[in-house]
Chain A
Amino acid sequence: MRRWAAVGLVGLSACAPEGASSQGQDISDLYRVFVYVAIGVGAIVYGLILWSAIRYRRRSDALPKQTRANVPLEIVYTALPILIVLGLFVLTFRVERDVDRVASEPALVVNVSGFQWGWRFEYPESGISVVSTPSEYPTLVVPAGETVRINLSSNDVIHSFYVPDFLFKRDTVPGQPNRFDLLIPEPGRFRGACAEFCGVDHGEMNFWVDALPATEFDAWIEERAGAS
């Protein structure tokens, strides 16, 4: 019985995508806890609503007991939710701290700027610049297994750098530089998009993130830096 319940829970939480970055993994774990708590709370409250709706449907014209209040019960159903949300807050606080933490010495810095309607990825250390073209979405190439600092900026309107597989987005806000760290443990190719509505071609502001093994990444840098 318990095993089946566990299987059910795992199945339900499968709708949470795995985080492909280490920060995304933390978020994914946190999301899973929230889903479990939501299922628990939801099961109780949905159960109570449906039970009372079915059990106490009208069967006679008798006047039921006119209960107005039950103070101990009311204290319980006020206090328990407070404890639950405090617990969730503590977990949230820890994960948020980890996700927002930026390393003092990242292996690579990429300056990402959003514009209407495309992206520019600049590698200040090697002078490489990758920009959207009308025919092609740009690719942000980063080394797998290393901490990458992303600096975000915009000169026109607000955009948002969003990679669904990383379970993460951060806005590019004119006049307010943002930054975050990204660590992608395994090589892979991930779809990215603009998440903040930014005008007519908002839906076309897509990009790719390629996480390459360290040697391939170095080769890519050399090739691109030599080409420019």
Chain B
Amino acid sequence: MDRGTGGRVVSVTLERPPPTPPPLRARSGGILEWITTTDHKKIGLLYIGTTFLFFLAGGLMALLMRIELAEPGLQVLTKNAYNQLFTIHGTTMVFLFIAPMGLGLANYFVPLQIGAPDMAFPRLNALSYWLFLAGGATILLSFFASGGASAAGWTAYYPLSGPQGSPGPGVDLWIMGVLLASASSVMTAVNLMVTAFLLRAPGMTMWRLPLFVWNMIITSLMILVSFPPITAGLSLLFIDRHLGGHFFDPASGGSVVLYQHLFWWFGHPEVYIMILPFFGIVTDIIPVFSRKPVFGYLGFVFASLAIAGLSMSVWAHHMFTTGAVLNPFFSMMSFLIAVPTGIKFFNWIGTMWGGQIRFDTPMLWCLGFMLNFLLGGITGVMVASPPIDFAVHDTYFVVAHFHYVLAGGSLFGIFAGLYYWFPKMTGFRLSERTGKAVFVLVFVGFNLSFFGMHLLGLRGMQRRIADYPADVGWTWLNQIATLGTVIMGIGVVLFAWNVLEAFRGRRPAGDDPWEGYTLEWSTTSPPPEHNFTWLPPIRSERPLFDWRQRDKDMGAEEVRK
């Protein structure tokens, strides 16, 4: 796989870049270096590491809840503790793990994929990270506040989140934490958009951008449109709680449903903010491992744009049972979102079709992503129908649906990205065998956890209850779910071992272990400060593939052996 350093075809090697200088590893420093850094790769790593820690915290909360639900009755948690756990579990996974993990990976790889030396605004980038960390710490540490963390659900519906419903400081800390995290996201979104628009290398036209970059541009657009409403909504909530406002208080002419509108006006685009980055990653990985270009590049980009547009017009489908929005418009728009999402499935299938697919760990995660996300998409069409939503809203059916999307989809996409890019970020190779074991454990555990929840929901088990009757036939399904969560937990622990072992083993990964297509694979692993000493010419969305083909076209086939 080496690109001809044997020097057997002199005419080719002469046109190559000069031998790569020893990588300018900016690994000096120590903790001060990490605190003061404005390097997009270091900030990216900080994001990835921090969000992963938050993921472990959120996962631990899920495990505690599942242990409580394994049997009817209350065994390990009080009701109040359970309510805090599911509130902070949801908040952590949404605001502190999935969305910022997408932004963290983008921080590292958008500049690399477009051939840029850094993000457009490096110091703003550092500010984003530290605001995010402050927000996350505020939310998680609120467990230690008097009265504990917020127990109003991650949606914090008024009046339950109001001054009478939740008098303690938990909700205030929750509001502050989310506001900090959302301010951070808005800054990163601006940064990413400017970077992708203005810092592209010569030849990198918009239609040659890797699809991860395209999806990050579109994600950023959605962040810019959807985070201001939640910022406003939570600020109004804070004013209602402490400054005598009555925006949501019906006794003084306010509207309870207004809060839900503001929340979901953010909340639904947020769903796509949490999935589009990983659509992008998967769509970068599948072609590489199928040895084909992506099928339907333009269709994919327009599908992402369509999703972004439609995602702004479906918020009220979370509110069908309030009786305030029985307008069929929201149902129609929600159905239509299935169309661009379906296009993406056909992009992936079309890419694999006729390919030579190698199932290394990143590709396995992509396969798991497709299999899980498809079910989440199908049940998504069901809950978009208001009458069906009347039946399953706020039951475990919906819990199953959005975990198939966010855990089966986004989380698998995150793992795909981490396995794909780990060699680039660290210079080390992960053990493929351990990685495959992690995949099997997480895939099996995930499906055991969540598939049965569809049935639980249809049988009438509502969300957000710590206890359930013993005589309604829910127990065995809950036990399977708990078993699945434990298996998933073992998989995540094994993943941590996978990573630690790679750092201890120090097996060099090489610059381009997967025969990648995009520019990050043309530099060293890890890349030097300011990323590139050389760039291949960019003539398509696969500059590195073209560069390798050029070898072959010039008769250098034997070099590859």
Contacts and interface: CB of A to CB of B under 8 A. Distances in A.
Contacts of B379: 38
Given A58-B359, A175-B251, A195-B395, 13 more contacts: A26-B387, A31-B387, A42-B374, A48-B349, A57-B356, A57-B358, A64-B292, A66-B293, A96-B386, A156-B164, A164-B395, A197-B153, A198-B160
A202 B464 contact: yes
B463 A197 contact: yes
A92 B336 CA distance: 14
Contact of B385 (A62, A88, A160): A88
A176 B463 contact: no
B548 to A, nearest CB: 10
Interface of B: 79-80, 83, 151, 153, 157, 159-160, 164-165, 250-251, 254-257, 290-299, 321-324, 326, 328, 331-332, 335-336, 338-339, 342-343, 345-346, 348-350, 352-359, 367, 370-371, 374-375, 378-379, 381-382, 385-388, 390-391, 393-395, 454-455, 458-460, 462-468, 472
A69 interface: yes
Contacts of A167: 387, 390-391
B356 A175 contact: no
B378 A89 contact: no
Interface in A177-213: 178, 180, 191, 193-203
A30 B385 contact: yes
A34 interface: yes
A164 B460 contact: yes
5 contacts: A58-B359, A77-B346, A82-B336, A157-B160, A173-B324
Contact of B326 (A34, A96, A193): A96
Contacts of A176: 250, 255-257, 322-324
A99 B315 CA distance: 22
Contact of B472 (A58, A68, A173, A191): A191
Interface residues of A, number: 80
B472 to A, nearest CB: 7
List 7 A-B pairs, minimum CB-CB distance, nearest first: A175-B250, A164-B460, A203-B465, A167-B391, A85-B335, A178-B323, A52-B352
Contact of A85 (B251, B293, B338): B338
Interface in A140-174: 152, 156-158, 160, 162, 164-165, 167-171, 173-174
B196 to A, nearest CB: 22
A53 interface: yes
Contact of A58 (B255, B342, B357, B460): B357
Contact of B393 (A48, A61, A195, A203): A195
A215 interface: no
A193 B462 contact: yes
A53 B323 contact: no
A180 B381 CA distance: 25
A81 interface: yes
Most A CB contacts (10 A, CB to CB) among B293, B343, B381 go to B381
Contact of A57 (B338, B348, B359): B359
Contacts of A85: 335-336, 338-339, 381
A74 interface: yes
B381 A34 contact: yes
Interface string A54-78: 0011111111111111100110011
B387 A92 contact: yes
Contacts of B322: 158, 171, 173, 176, 178
Contact of A174 (B159, B323, B367): B159
A100 B394 CA distance: 19
A117 to B, nearest CB: 11
A31 B153 contact: no
B335 A88 contact: yes
A177 B200 CA distance: 55
Contacts of A58: 291, 356-359
A220 interface: no
B354 A67 contact: yes
B387 A169 contact: no
B331 A89 contact: yes
Contacts of A203: 79, 462, 464-468
A52 B353 contact: yes
Contacts of A157: 157, 159-160, 165
Interface centre among B354, B462, B465 (most CB of A within 10 A): B462
Given A38-B381, A65-B354, A174 B339 contact: no
Given A171-B321, A196-B394, A77 B342 contact: yes
Given A66-B292, A67-B354, A193-B462, A27 B382 contact: no
A174 B297 CA distance: 49
A158 B356 CA distance: 55
